[in-house]
Chain A
Amino acid sequence: MFGVLIRIDAVTKRYPDGTVAVDRLSLDIPDRAITVLVGPSGCGKTTTLRMINRMVEPTEGSILLDGADIRQQPVNSLRRSMGYVIQNAGLFQHRTILDNIATVPRLLGWSKPKARGRAAELMERVGLDTSLAKRYPYQLSGGQQQRVGVARALAADPPVLLMDEPFSAVDPVVRKGLQDELLRIQDELGKTIVFVTHDIDEAIKLGTMVAVLRTGGRLAQFAPPAELLSEPADTFVEDFLGADRGIRRLSFFPSDELPLQTGPLVRLDADAAQRTARSDAPYLLVTDADGRPLGWAEPDRPLDRERLLDHGRPFRPGADSLRTALDGAVLSPTGWAVAVDGDGRAVGVVSQQVIGEAIRAAHGRAGAGVKAAR
């Protein structure tokens, strides 16, 4: 599917005091994809990242970029070909937002107007209002600063992006926004991204490939996130993934094959005859005249908009995963999840039991798929 851009070959980093930060690590980092290095503190993930742009030199082993040893080119030109994003952004507090973003183009010898023009372009790409261009970093929120950090890393259009826990210092809502933004930018630009985090959820959300490292700098497992969740290599990986690994794995199963029932859908203005016609269902999903769900009602009682049971959060077949569908069913007092289309109109309902059968079927297929791939 992907070529290999960065090959980390049996790399060890041993410090003079004898500490081993990275221990004979080999990784093939795929081209134009996000590779996440994840693990507890002290697992050598940041050291590994810093060896890729030679901020740390390996004690043994070598790192190849596009087939050539990274030590073959001057260190500063290597670094200028790799965008770098860190926690708290590491912006230059004495430079305007525009000049922060223009840093690497300027280092590469671009003229000031050209570099600033490019910087303004990037502000838009990462979702920053260009009215912020003349501001200084202290005038921006943490989330905005982090966007500037991403824009600065992208400024010279480097093929590689190194990201060292870039979203760890912002609050969860902002973090989710930044993660979605990164995935969107990656869809457009297709960079080779190496992303370090200690947050397994972030790793699973962002990674095309995820490398789980254990304390002492050894590789525990290197696999796509779905495979990590279904077949953790050992108890360390299993523990690191956490207790709800099974639920999280459902994020990788699509919901478009769920059999939806349309029988229980009724409009609020339906008469008694229409309702009893559908009375084989334990509950009716009441919708407004446009078909948007309002709530659940029992079939043998008159419809009263004030007395409907909450329908929980609906899911969109195709766009959402089985996890969202199951979540909707669990949250609904009736145990049924509501499926809606892109405009929010109800297209059917599905019970927990049916979702459960779909999960078992999906597991069966995924298990066969993983075995076939080997």
Chain B
Amino acid sequence: MKISFPHMGYSYIALKWLVENLGHECIVPPEPSKRTLDLGVRHAPEFACIPYKILMGTYLEVAEMGAELILSSGGRGPCRAGYYWVMHRYLLEELGLDVKLIAFEPPLNDLKGFFKTIHWLRKTGGRSVKEVLNALEVTWEKIKALDDLELCSHETRPYEVNRGDTTRALWKGLDMVDQANTLAELAEARHEGLRLLESVPRDNSRNPLKIGIIGEIYVVLEPAANHYIQIMLGEMGVHTDRSIYLSAYTRNNTIVNLEGDIKAMARPYLNADTIGGHGVNSVAETVLYAKHGFDGVVQLAPFACIPEIVAKGILPTISQEYGIPVLTIFIDEQTGKAGVQTRLEAFVDLLQRRRENKAKSERLAI
């Protein structure tokens, strides 16, 4: 069977390997482009958020490329993303396309359905249980390796001497992870990739600004959706820390994971256990970044994203109390790269000025 899935950051490298090792052919989803978005916008409801539109476009593109089955994710709400697959299925039916769409509901809510789908994929691919378990393990390790490399690239980029070196090294590393087929090969690829990134010529005398990136998972993880914001900021000489990684809950080297109960952080401002998506996280993470001495926070969200709008309504209070500037960027199909860049440059200028003023007043005090 020809199987495809949504494009989200670099995860396609790991998922491609998984699909192939379940005994199926993989149609690798193309990186979301202007065409993807145009296709999506044409068929999606006007006020659906941008991830919905990009996914819609991606599905139409992979259907053109011959995909017979699309694997997607479900959800338990109240974020709209959990209902995407139902609407996507309706729309694919309306367009008369011969492509099947199956969603994995969260295993915590629907363990049986989750295993049923995996089992069905295994049988149609003709693999043994042992092979599948091994494939799942390698895939997970791949996701972790991809995240490790990306994390390292964001730490390196603000120090690079020649602009673009880090991104080139990252791609070499990603290719190596892509080629790896066993756990041993993967460990080597990861090691080699990190070494490549570490050997990028650095200017360690710089003292980069630190910006935390928070917001809705899809636009935070998919560089093509957020106009490569982290690379853009990195090349402006800014150190960025992102709150979301696919492998996040297993790692202890990101700021967000250093703290225990993230919801407790949000409680003084937003007294709800969840408002869907990453709404509560966005509130809590702004507090966290402020406490860890970051210079500013950028909130990324799709236009009309419900949880992030609630968060946006609350962030000004935190911004005032902790004295940390927050820039909210709502992304839709009209958002242009130049617009994002101009706003980021202005924001970075503002942060730079704040830092200089702070240093000045501290000197005067002595």
Q: Do A and B bind each other?
A: no
